[in-house]
């Protein structure tokens, strides 16, 4: 049977205007004994996509067609649960239909404003006494279905019968599955692919029709999945990451269907997702980021080098700098103040195990928020299990509550999460620049992985990596590859050596109002146009031999347009910048080298207009002086005075200036903020306050900040701060004290946290093993990983330090390290290079007169891998 005919266009327009979801009809069940067919059409009489369900001999199958051509042949549906097999002996008890008409906006993605139009049919099904429901939704760009289970407490699902059947000779671009989705794609055929597991999204082509298979609205209520295939078969079956999942609903099994333009431009994955859980998104700011880890791995440990990246970002109007693995909380607050005064915000990297529990998140996330950090990059999740998805749900909620943006690296693919949680700026799940890839897969990503959501490829490697793609190719990538945060891969000096490339990067946005497919084919070429405001950007790349690439300009409106192109020219290190006036009937056509490409920017041609560039926004120059810079040692309950003077050194007028300190929790402050409604160049704002130290030993900071608005900026809030340093001393150690029992003044580690009385092992706190060096086990000590530093307070009350130093026996390969002892920054003792398997070496240092003792390990000159360094029995001889 066929469902009732679709309403007229006027009714559809009415529904879209109201953005409502209306039930339309309820149809009685077919007789159970007869084979039955149900056709679900798209949202209008002209919709190209249809889905058909067939129930025969108790088995339910789904197929999909485009313009009457079968794209997905009939393939099984159903679930297996702990109580019943819901894939066999099925009966349809009834069905109902509704129109889905919604509008929503995104903070990231290929299009800000979205309109959903779909027809959804709900089938009520039974297998014996067991009941469940199947939702089938058809839109102009695809078909999706999900299962609903009636048990409110959750049904235990042990697997799905869900599958897809392609034409055996359909071309396939498949991703051999691993849980971080970082393998390279392979081009094959649906039946000819090797037996194995393949990750979402998977792209197939049959004739003129494409199908991109993936899933949407996956969260902690279910498990992630992949596709299982046997060589010679055209079938791809859904396999869950867990053997058992307790749930009341499944994700949407999603097939984006259409020509290559339809698939590339589709927003179906987001359309199917749960609506936003964040009402106010005004604090969410996508943007470009300077990032040092790929071009110089050790630089995230270097405060001064990170300042160079901040200065570069500020000069070029990039709003972020990402400080990756290796940063230290000893200097991140200062770096954050330095950056924010220059209009740059800091993002910080975390291993997910550092934030894997509510307690860790409650401790760490508010702390980095207080430092002024605007977002976090969380890495190495590498799992599609329900437990890991529940962790995704939890950290997304926690960061949203603190107004911290987030990037998932080493992650699963996007499943519509950026609609549900708009502060999710991007996800990795790609064989990206960190893998130092050859460019062969680059023209595949716009048609596969990047279709389903923001992709943290970290593009534009001009001097780092294999350098087998041209500069024009690299500069086109931030147009082709959409990502709410675009972390550029190379160092400042590399970009400065390519000024035309840099000039284009300074202009290219990271979010878009519109995206258009122009030309290309997976693995060969890709060309897209994206619009931001009144400017269009074009990116085109190739893989393989030199050729001429032509892209139409039909996406431009009527009239004349100024187009500025950056492209490769023989004999030039940098790209060449050219401009000309065009119309929408014209095209861009350029000869490109092997693995080449070009990028372009277009704006309305107006009299006197010579460039589409917009001014680079920079914050006004200011100065903030504080006194004292260091308040020295202060006992709890003691008071001291601080003061500040703020000056505006630019020629701009700013508004709503507030100058005020912020004291640590448990401390008190006397004195009011100083304010100025309007602040002009040359004016001085000054204030004095009295601070009373609270409990809690160790280093503390009392930041004094001037916050103001600059109406000339798109993002007008500016924060300028300096901090008064205060130290609340702990008691001087007693004679015989072990360093592993003392409070740390500071601690930094090359991998994971410093461990007390255990080896460092992996990233999670407390996951270490008993300390063991050269076959001898030690009960007390510090487990570190080079390079590391641990500082404790001696208060000039101790005489000698002794320890046994060596690499822990858990070191899987012969690491190497040097152990150093420092007193107030001066070297006191050091070992030669020690290696894995060596016996522990005695270390002794005279610490008379030392206020701060630092235990340091370095990597021995061959990198930090496997350098698990132990300080066994680190004992102090003291005066009391």
The question of whether 379 is a catalytic residue gets the answer yes
DSSP 3-state of 568: coil
C-alpha span between 457 and 479 (Å, rounded) = 12
C-alpha span between 163 and 794 (Å, rounded) = 66
Rounded to 5 degrees, φ, ψ at 482 are -80, 135
What is the token pair recorded at 322?
Answer: 């990402």
C-alpha span between 375 and 381 (Å, rounded) = 17
What contacts 301, CB < 8 A, 6 or more positions away? Answer: 326, 327, 328, 748, 787
The question of whether 717 is a catalytic residue gets the answer no
C-alpha span between 535 and 3 (Å, rounded) = 44
What contacts 646, CB < 8 A, 6 or more positions away? Answer: 622, 623, 624, 657, 659, 684, 685, 686, 706, 720
C-alpha span between 390 and 727 (Å, rounded) = 40
Rounded to 5 degrees, φ, ψ at 539 are -130, 130
SS (H, E, C) 76-114: ECCEEECCCEECCCEEEEEEEEEEEEEEEECCCCCCCEE
What is the token pair recorded at 807?
Answer: 């690499």
CA dist 307 to 300, 316, 320, 362, Å?
A: 10, 14, 12, 29
What residues pair up with 580 in beta bridges, in sequence order? 563
DSSP 3-state of 670: strand
H or E stretch at 578: strand 576-582
Alpha helices in 705-792 (DSSP H): none
What residues pair up with 547 in beta bridges, in sequence order? 592
Residue in 160, 219, 271, 434 annotated catalytic: 434
**DSSP line for 515-554:** EEEEEEETTTEEEEEEEETTEEEEEEEE-SS-EEEEEE-T
Residue of 108, 395, 77 whose CA lies nearest to 270: 108
H or E stretch at 684: strand 684-692
What is the token pair recorded at 868?
Answer: 């698990």
What contacts 493, CB < 8 A, 6 or more positions away? Answer: none
C-alpha span between 481 and 428 (Å, rounded) = 12
What residues pair up with 658 in beta bridges, in sequence order? 675, 707
**DSSP line for 605-656:** --TT----PPPPP-PPPEEEEEE-SEEEE--TT-EEEEEEEEEE-SS--EEE
Span between the terminal Cα atoms of the chain, in Å: 92
Name the one residue in this structure whose structure tokens are 């005075």: 641
Residue pair 376/407 in contact (Cβ under 8 Å)? The answer is: yes
DSSP 3-state of 29: coil
CA dist 54 to 38, 78, 165, Å?
A: 7, 13, 14
H or E stretch at 364: helix 358-371
What contacts 354, CB < 8 A, 6 or more positions away? Answer: 360, 364, 753, 763, 764, 765
**DSSP line for 204-239:** EEETTEEEEEEEES--TTS--EEEEE-TT--EEEEE
C-alpha span between 432 and 458 (Å, rounded) = 7
What contacts 660, CB < 8 A, 6 or more positions away? Answer: 672, 673, 674, 687, 689, 704, 705
Residue in 209, 217, 334, 379 annotated catalytic: 379
H or E stretch at 307: helix 303-316
Residues serving a catalytic function are 379, 434
């Amino acid at each position: 049977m066929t469902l009732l005919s679709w309403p007229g266009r006027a009714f559809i327009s009415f529904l879209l205007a109201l953005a409502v979801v209306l039930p339309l009809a309820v149809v009685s069940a077919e007789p159970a004994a007869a084979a039955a067919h149900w056709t679900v059409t798209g949202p209008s009489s002209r919709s190209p996509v249809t889905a058909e369900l067939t129930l025969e001999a108790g088995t339910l199958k789904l197929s999909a067609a485009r313009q009457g051509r079968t794209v997905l042949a009939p393939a099984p549906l159903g679930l297996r649960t702990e109580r019943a097999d819901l894939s066999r002996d099925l009966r349809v008890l009834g069905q109902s239909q509704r129109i889905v008409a919604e509008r929503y906006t995104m903070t990231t993605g290929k299009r800000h404003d979205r309109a959903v139009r779909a027809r959804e049919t709900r089938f009520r099904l039974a297998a014996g006494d067991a009941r469940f429901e199947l939702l089938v939704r058809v839109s102009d760009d695809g078909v999706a279905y999900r299962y609903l289970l009636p048990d409110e407490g959750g049904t235990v699902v042990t697997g799905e019968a869900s599958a897809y059947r392609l034409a055996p000779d359909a071309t396939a671009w498949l991703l051999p599955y691993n849980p971080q989705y970082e393998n390279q794609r392979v081009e094959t055929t649906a039946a000819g692919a090797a037996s194995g597991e393949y990750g979402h999204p998977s792209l197939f082509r049959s004739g003129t029709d494409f199908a991109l298979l993936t899933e949407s609205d996956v969260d902690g209520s279910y498990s992630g999945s992949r596709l299982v295939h046997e060589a010679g078969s055209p079938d791809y079956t859904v396999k869950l990451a867990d053997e058992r999942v307790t749930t009341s609903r499944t994700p949407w099994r999603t097939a984006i269907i259409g020509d290559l333009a339809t698939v590339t431009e589709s927003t179906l994955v987001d359309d199917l997702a749960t609506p936003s859980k964040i009402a106010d998104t005004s604090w969410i700011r996508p943007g470009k980021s300077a990032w040092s880890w790929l071009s110089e791995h050790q630089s995230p440990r270097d405060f001064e080098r990170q300042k160079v990246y901040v200065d570069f970002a500020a000069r070029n109007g990039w709003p972020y700098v990402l400080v990756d693995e290796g940063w230290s909380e000893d200097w991140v607050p200062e770096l954050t103040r330095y950056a924010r005064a220059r209009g740059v915000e800091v993002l910080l990297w975390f291993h997910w195990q550092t934030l894997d529990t509510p307690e860790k998140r409650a401790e760490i996330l508010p702390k980095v928020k207080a430092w002024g950090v605007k977002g976090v990059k969380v890495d190495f999740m590498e799992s599609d299990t329900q437990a890991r998805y529940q962790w995704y749900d939890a950290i997304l909620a926690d960061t949203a509550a603190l107004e911290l943006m987030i990037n998932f690296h080493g992650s699963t693919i996007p499943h519509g999460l950026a609609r549900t949680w708009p502060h999710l700026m991007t996800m990795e799940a790609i064989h990206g620049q960190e893998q130092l890839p050859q460019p062969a897969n680059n023209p595949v990503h716009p048609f596969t992985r990047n279709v389903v959501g923001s992709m943290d490829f970290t593009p534009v490697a001009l001097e780092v990596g294999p350098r087998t793609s041209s500069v024009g190719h690299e500069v086109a990538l931030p147009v082709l590859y959409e990502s709410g945060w675009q972390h550029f891969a190379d160092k400042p000096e590399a970009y400065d050596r390519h000024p035309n490339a840099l000039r284009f990067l300074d202009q290219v946005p990271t979010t878009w109002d519109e995206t258009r497919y122009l030309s290309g084919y997976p693995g060969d070429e890709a060309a897209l146009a994206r619009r931001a405001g009144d400017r269009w950007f074009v990116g085109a790349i190739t893989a393989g031999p030199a050729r001429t690439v032509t892209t139409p300009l039909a996406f431009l409106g009527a009239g004349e347009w100024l187009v500025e192109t950056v492209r490769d020219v023989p004999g030039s290190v940098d790209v060449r910048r050219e401009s000309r006036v065009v119309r929408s009937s014209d095209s861009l056509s350029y000869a490109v080298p092997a693995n080449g490409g070009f990028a372009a920017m277009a704006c309305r041609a107006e009299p006197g207009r010579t460039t589409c560039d917009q001014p680079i926004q920079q914050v006004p120059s200011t100065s903030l002086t504080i006194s004292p810079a260091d308040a020295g040692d202060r006992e709890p309950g003691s008071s001291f005075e601080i003061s500040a003077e703020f000056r505006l050194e630019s020629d701009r007028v700013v508004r709503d200036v507030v100058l005020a300190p912020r004291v640590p929790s448990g401390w008190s402050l006397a004195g009011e903020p100083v304010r100025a409604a309007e602040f002009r160049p040359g004016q001085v704002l000054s204030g004095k306050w009295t601070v009373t130290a609270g409990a809690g030993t160790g280093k503390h900071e009392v930041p004094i900040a001037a916050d103001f608005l600059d109406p000339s900026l798109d993002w007008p809030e500016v924060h300028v701060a300096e901090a008064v340093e205060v130290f609340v001393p702990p008691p001087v150690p007693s004679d015989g004290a072990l360093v592993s029992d003392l409070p740390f003044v500071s601690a930094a580690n090359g991998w994971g946290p410093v461990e007390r009385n255990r080896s460092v092992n992996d990233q999670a706190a407390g996951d270490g093993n008993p300390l063991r060096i050269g076959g001898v086990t030690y009960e007390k000590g510090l487990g570190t990983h080079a390079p590391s530093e641990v500082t404790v307070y001696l208060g000039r009350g101790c005489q000698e330090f002794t320890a046994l130093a060596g690499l822990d026996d858990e070191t899987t390969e012969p690491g190497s390290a040097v152990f150093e002892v420092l007193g107030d920054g001066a070297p006191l003792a050091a070992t030669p290079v020690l290696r894995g398997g060596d016996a522990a070496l005695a270390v002794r240092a005279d610490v008379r007169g030392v206020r701060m003792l630092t235990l340091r390990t370095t990597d021995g000159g061959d990198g930090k891998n496997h350098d698990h360094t132990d300080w066994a029995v680190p004992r102090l001889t003291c005066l009391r």
